[in-house]
Amino acid sequence: MAATHHYLARTRMPASRLELFAWFSREGAFERLAPPFLRMTEIRREGGLEVGARTAVTVQLGPARVRLLAEHTAFKEGESFVDEQVEGPFARFVNEHRMLDAPDGGSLLEDKVEFALPGGALGDLAGERMARRRLASLFAYRHALIQADLARHQRFAQRPRLHVAITGAGGLIGSSLIPFLTTGGHRVTRVPHRALAAPELSPDVDAVVHLAGAPIAEGRWTKEKKAEILDSRVKGTRALCEALAKRERKPKVLVSGSAVGIYGDRGGESLIESHPLGDGFLADVCREWEAATAPAVEAGIRVVLLRTGIVLTPAGGALKALLPAFRAGLGGRVGAGTQFMSWISLEDEVGLIHWALMNEAVHGPLNATAPTPVTSAEFAAALGHVLHRPAIAPVPSAALKLVLGAEKAKAMLLDSQKAIPEVALQGGFEFLFPELPAALRFSLGRNRLDSTETAPPLRAVAPTDLPAERP
């Protein structure tokens, strides 16, 4: 007979018990709690937190994808709920989520788990340690994320919740931004790309986040592909902004996508938002992209131009593409390795958009990058260290140009941009991950929350902690 094991995680939260419970009860909580390193895919969901609600997902366990079906078996409004495995890899798995009043204010989130492994004593011998490690990674991620989300929403607790329309909602950033906003009490409307010229938005829309645009990483940069990249951003943005400008009730703010590629190839120069723009295809695209927001600016809408760097998450983008090689011990610097990479964690990208929406003092260019850009060689060393793999296999520039085409390889991988988020830092935005190793450990599930431990708060960088110049 399989032995029953126990795991307990308890973390102090910067919100009341009822506010914490409300976070769990809102749309998007499941998506927020699905770690990207588990590659969890929802199959179906029925109900909310109440007894009888069911969720079916697949998760990645080693080389295999495993189906998991869980059912809620207990529920107490404002205090707790329990979900239990109906189908999955455990012989038994019961997770009680409890929200408790903290003695000095705030609340405690407590996750109590009872689990048993298949295979009896042999299963325990082979799998208990691994199961505990996975639970420690899962709850370290979840508790830290909930703690950070609540703190970010609490910062603007006195401000009304917004109705936010989002274009590009199915993309890497949009698909994380939406559940962040909805669990914080905001309302979200997804705007399909085909509706940019005449968005059918309800009159009570307060804000728009514009993230739509053809992907630049897919395929070679043929003449037709470059035209698609440009037109999808410039024409779509102009059409959207002209439509917003004509509305009787205009949104208060538009956060419109851009990229650090606007600075061109600038070597080791520290680039803040007020610096001159650069040259090259991507710089030209971003310049026209930002200029296309003019109708909204002229109509009195507060416009924020989000100059995003490399967004780090194993769910997609550059990090997902690099992981197979690095996990195999075949990773390394790209090209000479001296070019700077302006990166940002997905959680800080989402948090920065939220901050820009809620902070009426923010307008114009906003570098969406961490305050500590790194070189390609430093990035490779950090990723190898987090994965416990060597990172000594360089990718020659010539090979990249052969595979991707010279222009695309240079613009995306070999050009150097050392972007500093001066506007965010001076405005008081707190980065969860100002340093690369911590960002990688979090997103890759390399943190652990041992049973009965309390998750430490994620470090935030103060506005005065501006990075020193690199030699």
User: Which architecture, in CATH terms, is 163-309+345-370+426-443?
Assistant: 3-Layer(aba) Sandwich (3.40)
- Among candidate residues 8, 107, 144, 100, the one with its CA nearest the CA of residue 457: 144
pLDDT at 43: 85
What is the residue extent of each domain of the chain?
Answer: 5-155, 163-309+345-370+426-443
pLDDT at 471: 28
- Among candidate residues 348, 317, 364, 345, the one with its CA nearest the CA of residue 430: 348
Q: Is 315 helix (H, G, I), strand (E, B) or coil?
A: coil
CA separation, residue 240 to residues 56, 127, 194, 198, 283 (Å): 37, 54, 11, 7, 21
Rg, C-alpha atoms of the chain: 23
CA distance 284 to 262: 7
> Are the CB atoms for 54 and 67 separated by under 8 Å?
no
- Among candidate residues 253, 265, 232, 165, the one with its CA nearest the CA of residue 205: 165
Strand 92-101 versus strand 364-368 pairing type:
unpaired
pLDDT at 150: 97
The pair phi, psi for residue 19, each rounded to 5°, is: -65, -40
User: Which architecture, in CATH terms, is 5-155?
Assistant: 2-Layer Sandwich (3.30)
Report which residue type is found at 391: A
pLDDT at 35: 93
- Both tokens assigned to 326: 């690095």
CA triplet 216, 219, 224: central angle to 5 degrees? Answer: 80
In this chain, the answer to whether the domains covering 5-155 and 163-309+345-370+426-443 adopt an identical fold is: no
CA dihedral 448, 85, 18, 205 (to 10 degrees): 90
pLDDT at 41: 86
Report which residue type is found at 147: Q
153: left (phi over 0), alpha (psi -120 to 50) or beta: alpha
CA dihedral 352, 353, 358, 361 (to 10 degrees): 70
pLDDT at 417: 97
Strand 340-341 versus strand 374-375 pairing type:
antiparallel
pLDDT at 455: 53
The DSSP result for 294-313, as a single string, is HHHHHTT-EEEEEEE-EEEB
pLDDT at 452: 60
pLDDT, one tens digit for every residue, the chain (471 residues): 678 999 999 999 999 999 999 999 999 999 999 999 988 888 888 999 999 999 999 988 777 889 999 999 999 999 999 999 999 999 999 999 999 999 878 999 999 999 999 887 777 777 888 889 999 999 999 999 999 999 999 999 999 999 999 999 999 999 999 999 999 999 999 998 776 666 677 889 999 999 999 889 888 999 999 999 999 999 999 999 999 999 999 999 999 999 999 999 999 999 999 999 999 999 999 999 999 999 999 999 999 999 999 999 999 999 999 999 999 999 999 999 999 999 999 999 999 999 999 999 999 999 999 999 999 999 999 999 999 999 999 999 998 888 889 999 999 999 999 999 999 999 999 999 999 999 999 999 998 877 665 555 554 333 333 333 332
